Amino acid sequence: MAATNLLVRCDAAHIGRYVHSGTAQIAYLDPPFGVGASFGARTRSSGWRVRGRIAYEDRWASIEAYLAWLEVRIAVVRECLSSEGTMWLHLDHRAVHEAKMVCDRVFGRSAFIGEVVWVPGNGARGPRRGPGMTHQTLLLYARGKDFVWNARDPALREPFAPTSLTMHFRRADRDGRLYREKTVAGRTYRYYADAGRALGSVWNDCPGMVANTPLLRETTGYPTQKPVALLERIVRASSREGALVVDAFCGSGTTLVAAAHLGRVFAGCDVGPLAIQTTRRRLDAEGVRYDVEVDSEQWPTRSKRASTPSS
């Protein structure tokens, strides 16, 4: 496992050059969604995203071309994962169903753990026909059977409903903690009220970013930026302290920031220069120590280099 945080300008297909096979405990992938558009960034506090510098292109000749491109990168990321590792693939309705079949081929259908529906809370745009799409989907796949899942982590718990507390949690232990007991197949289980219940598969408590307006302190102006709260929950769910976290499409660097906050080591990459610049500014502002490299095989006129770690 890498001992140093690393940021690389390279295609996600080449992340395996910088992450040893079988070393990552979690990989988060937030690739282009197959929207068929260019995405610009707001680089000034008064700027408009649509007029800003292009962050990345999301145009494809066909859905088949997009899926072929994605499959190569999913396969590379799978090789980075340890036997305890999990991949989180973040997409939306445009390609998530087809992408699941791609993941089934790469990982094997039995490796599918489940999915999380994320509701950013930005509202629907009011399509003329059919429901407005107000959610995105994360597909979870495991490299092995003994994958990390921190079910008891507070980030994966939520309070019991008031009616449930009133109806069921009527007993207290010696410390005054309210609990209920349930017997299943002759075995009695105790549930404490203050421990909360397991969080379900629909997450609507991590509001999305508004990249076009500087309303939130963490907003960078980078399009499709995800909130730190969402990535911290993902990292806490599928990794332990000190583990290696990989983000093959790091964009504005949210995953890397979350990993640093939580005491993990990160390896992130992106092919876009604006993504690397945005991530570097963000990590520097957070005081995170890391090295930077540029893939010399993709850009042969530029030498591979390591930056002086941030102070």
Same domain, 27 and 143: yes
User: Which stretches of the chain are DSSP H helices?
Assistant: 63-80, 96-107, 162-168, 228-238, 254-261, 273-286
Which residues, at least 6 apart from 243, have a Cβ–Cβ distance to it below 8 Å?
A: 1, 24, 25, 26, 148, 264, 265
Same domain, 80 and 190: no
Same domain, 85 and 219: yes
pLDDT at 53: 77
- Asked if residue 1 is part of any domain, the answer here is no
Is 36 in contact with 58 (CB distance < 8 Å)?
yes
pLDDT at 310: 42
Same domain, 166 and 254: no
Same domain, 178 and 47: no
- Asked if residue 180 is part of any domain, the answer here is yes
For residue 12 the two structure tokens come to 């996600």
Same domain, 18 and 106: yes
pLDDT at 55: 81
pLDDT at 302: 57
DSSP H or E segment with residue 25: strand 24-29
- Asked if residue 310 is part of any domain, the answer here is no
Grouping H, G, I as helix, E, B as strand and the rest as coil, residue 278 is helix
Same domain, 165 and 68: no
Q: What are the 10-residue block averages of pLDDT along the chain, 311 residues in total? A: 83 97 98 75 51 74 94 98 98 95 98 97 71 91 98 95 94 96 95 95 88 66 91 98 98 97 98 94 96 85 50 36
pLDDT at 122: 75
pLDDT at 46: 45
- Asked if residue 175 is part of any domain, the answer here is yes
pLDDT at 33: 82
Same domain, 79 and 165: no
What total number of domains does the chain contain? 2
User: What's the DSSP call for residue 63?
Assistant: H
Grouping H, G, I as helix, E, B as strand and the rest as coil, residue 276 is helix
Same domain, 29 and 172: no
Domain interval for residue 31: 6-159+196-294
Same domain, 100 and 166: no
